[in-house]
Amino acid sequence: MKFLLFFILVLFSFSATAQVVKKDTVKIVKADEVTVSAERPYSAASDAEFRAADLELRPRNSAQDMLRTVPGLFIAQHAGGGKAEQIFLRGFDCDHGTDINISVDDAPVNMISHGHGQGYADLHFVIPETIESVDVAKGPYFARFGDLATAGAVVFNTFDVLKENIVKVETGTAQYALEIQNRAFTTFRGLALVQAPFSNDKLHAYFGAEIYRTQGYFDLPQNFDRLNLIAKATGDIGEEGKLSASILTFSSGWNANGQIPQRAVNQGIISRFGSIDSTEGGATSRTSAIFKYTTGGSSPFTLNGSVTNYRFRLYSDFTFLAHDSLRGDEVEQTDARTILALRGESLKIWSAGSAIMKTRIGENLRSDDIEVGLYHDSARTRIETKVDALIHQRQVGPYVQQEIIFPGIQIQAGLRLDYFNFDVTNRLDPSAQPNGIVQALLASPKLNVAVPLGESITLFGNSGFGFHSNDARAVVTAHNGNTIPRAFGEEFGARLGHTSDLISGSIALWRLDLESEFIWGGDDGTTNAAGRTRRQGIDMELRITPFTWLALGGDMTIAKGVLRDAPVGQNYIPLAPNLTLTANALARFDNFSAALRLRMIDDRPAVEDNSIRAKGYSVFDLSTSYRIGQIEVFANIENFFNVAWNEAQFDTDARLRGETGITSDLHFTSGTPRSLRMGVGYRF
């Protein structure tokens, strides 16, 4: 079946004849607090695009929070706010980005061969108010997306033109801190986005700055500080060309509560908001220079490039006294790198008889020069160097995508090639692994079909090969032909609705197989091969607009994942979510808006035999906004009902002081208690 699919894709990818130009057919659904826009046959029933005008009522601690706009995507923080969040999507614990491709203005966010985790995706360098739209593509079905796009891909796009200047000041506190520790107003955020005085009809430019500080809601003050800066200019080049250039930079530092054992809370050693090792935390910084050149007309062309300088240092303690009973098991992870990335794409629109043809040809290039380290620490003092490696990783990814639009059916076929070069030098011991050079080449065919049934219903069928790469250190150590295991996904679904419809929604049945699920254990510098996996499930989305002022919506994903090579009862995929649900109610009046949101994730296995389970939760958030002329007053209450919930959870072998042996237990980071954020904004 897979070889037949590949053959069909090759035929479609290189089919050709004649010429006519026709505008894209676009379907727009506005409901809930987002505008969902999609080009037929843009992808699948599960795809969507979210516009900035409908993101305004969301609490914005960072751009990471904007990931929650993706249907079925959940995030979890477990290291003090400055670390990239853990991501869950479609039955995947994507860790910090292993199985989800994330970019900003086509600059890659994911860090391959990272010191803490493969595909590490930290979005904290983006100011949330600069996000214009979020494009979502679930599954490995689209030729544009290569490495890490197995569960899906998310593309953030920032504004080219700032429509108005914005100044905001926010402050807030958590109920626990206010009532127990009397640390009121422990959070502050200041924001300014201002158009450049030299902006005109042909050149638009703006500058922005964000300051964020919080002590958090834990017993240990987090002292999390973050500074973000942005400068972006967009201008016309000739009659049809446009060039934009931007610089985004940020730096942050924090303390972390870490992940605490459930038994320590049960025994009264610490509270739910306590910590075992008070020296956890970290610091990170990133500066990205991005440019984009586009042309219009019947044969548009796009060229994107970016240069990123990145620094990362993280102090973590997961096992406490399991390995070193005197000095503790704290580890320090470091990553310093420079990334060069380039993407070019051309589109040709023509005709063949009654069919409209769209031919896309593109290529991605990426180069990472990385210094990565792992150290055994005690109270942030280095005791032993465990990893000191220099990595040069190169990737070239050409692709072609042919779209054929017949009356009554649309076919999109693609083929992507990816070449990797992994070059690792073990600076700690040049004669030992990891050390060496490995090359790899992959071909990933794709096929998508859309069948519009009238104006309101479209049926979709999608399939394609994808992959997520492994840490370069694991690749050169393995020295075998399966260093980058394949993924194959398929999906069938339907989307219903129009902008003016009372009800709109979608349903998608999907399945995704991984040839080998390699898990990089960045905390101890090892790689574990979990074998073949299969995930399958159903995504459902519903939007109802009973009145012009009220929109109701919800998204639910039911998934089941198994380790295919393990015996029954021992084949659960740890932390893979089985059920996620979000529901929203949005009311908009002349000057007042309010939104109530539910996010729910069910209990799920924490280990392969399901003997330890991660606890689910249901959390409600409330947001309100009132605008008087150019002044906006807003308030956000997170965890409105103040439920006790676990944000991040892991099964961990650890030893506490006074214990004689190592114990396997559920370790967790407490979720936010009831927290109030309020502020005022001025737009001019």
Percentage of residues of the chain with pLDDT beyond 90: 65
pLDDT tens digit sequence for 624-671 = 999 999 999 999 999 999 999 999 899 999 999 999 999 999 999 999
Report how many domains make up the chain: 1
pLDDT tens digit sequence for 139-151 = 999 999 999 999 9
Does an H or E element contain 13, and which?
A: helix 2-13
140 vs 444: CA distance, rounded Å: 9
Q: What is the pLDDT of residue 526?
A: 57
275 vs 224: CA distance, rounded Å: 16
Q: What is the pLDDT of residue 519?
A: 62
pLDDT tens digit sequence for 515-555 = 987 665 545 545 677 789 999 999 998 888 899 888 888 89
Half-sphere exposure of 529 (CA within 13 A, CB side): 13
pLDDT at 601 over 90: yes
Cα first-last separation, the chain: 59
Alpha carbon of residue 208 to chain centroid: 23
- Which range in 64-73, 87-96, 425-434 is most confidently predicted, on average pLDDT? 425-434
Q: What is the pLDDT of residue 179?
A: 47
Q: Domain of 189: which CATH number?
A: 2.40.170.20
Name the pTM for this structure.
0.89
Closest CA to 89 of 580, 532, 466: 580
- H-type alpha helices, 254-310: 262-266
pLDDT at 65 over 90: no
pLDDT at 52 over 80: no
Closest CA to 442 of 480, 485, 403: 485
Closest CA to 292 of 158, 398, 163, 133: 158
Reading the block at residue 285, the tokens are: 């910084």
Structural domain that includes position 409: 2-683
pLDDT at 501 over 50: yes
Confidence of residue 199 (pLDDT cuts 50, 70, 90): confident
Reading the block at residue 440, the tokens are: 């790899």
pLDDT at 307 over 50: yes
Q: What is the pLDDT of residue 518?
A: 67
Q: Are 536 and 510 in contact (CB under 8 A)?
A: yes
Maximum pairwise Cα distance, the chain: 80
